Amino acid sequence: MAGKKKLSIEESMARLDAISTEMEKPGVSLENSFKLFNEGLELVKKVRGDLTDVEKKIKILQENEVSEEEADE
């Protein structure tokens, strides 16, 4: 995945789904399964980080909204 464009959360999830489908196919070699598994692990780490970032941004927005509502009172 190095050198490729940064995937969105949705693109990463779609790729994880594709990896899962590929690994479930009969006849996938152990070597290819291992490569797919590693790619999947990296994508899971990336998605977790991305979702954590989004969660932090949402909390900041919510806190700002509450602060603005309190200031209006």
| Predicted pLDDT at 4 | 61
Question: Cα(12)–Cα(44) distance, rounded to whole angstroms?
Answer: 8
| Predicted pLDDT at 69 | 72
| Predicted pLDDT at 5 | 76
Question: Cα(6)–Cα(46) distance, rounded to whole angstroms?
Answer: 10
pLDDT in tens, the chain (73 residues): 445 678 999 999 999 999 999 999 999 999 999 999 999 999 999 999 999 999 999 999 988 887 777 777 6
| Predicted pLDDT at 1 | 46
Model-level pTM? 0.76
The CA-based angle 10-11-15, given to 5 degrees, is 120
The percent helix, strand, coil of the chain (3-state, each to 5) is: 80, 0, 20
